[in-house]
Amino acid sequence: MSVPEPGQMAPDVVLPDETGKVHRLADQHGRWTVLYFYPKDDTPGCNTEACQFRDLDGDYAATDADVWGVSKDSAASHRRLREKFELPFTLLSDPNREVIDRYGAWAEKTAVGRTYMGIVRSTFLIDPDGRIARTWPKVKADGHPAEVLQALGEERAARAS
């Protein structure tokens, strides 16, 4: 599937977190949402990204933004990751790739000379009206949460003017 573009309505998200609570993007009306896709719990790049989002949690909260991480991992895996790194934000489980596919985050990847299908690390900033404000279709984990926070500030300022 193609990657949603800025200005388009964000594809629907209806997924459970590690406790089984279902989170719906439609319920986020009036709030900013950072929706980030990552390959696998408790791997170096994913841990870096998650911990940097954690460290900026107060800054995200101050802008009325929620951070949601999405992977194919199970609820139990998400629970272990949240506990290990004291993650304050939501991790959603998408084992059937329903949302991952809608956001174009499932694609061909190459590593160590091997080609395979997997989750491409990507992020979407969704505005309070449910539209895609910004996209990052392929990102490096280190420093990315700060980049998204800066973009969030720019988008909020643009809406206020």
Residue type, 67: V
- Helices 144-160 and 44-55, interaxial angle, to 10°? 40
Question: In the numeric block, which tokens belong to residue 43?
Answer: 């791997």
Cβ–Cβ < 8 Å for 67, 57 = yes
Marked catalytic residue, from 13, 46, 92, 100: 46
Please say if 46 is a catalytic residue.
Answer: yes
Burial class (CB in 10 A: 0-12, 13-18, 19+), 123: buried
- For 34, half-sphere exposure in the C-beta direction (CA atoms, 13 angstrom radius) is 33
List active site positions: 46
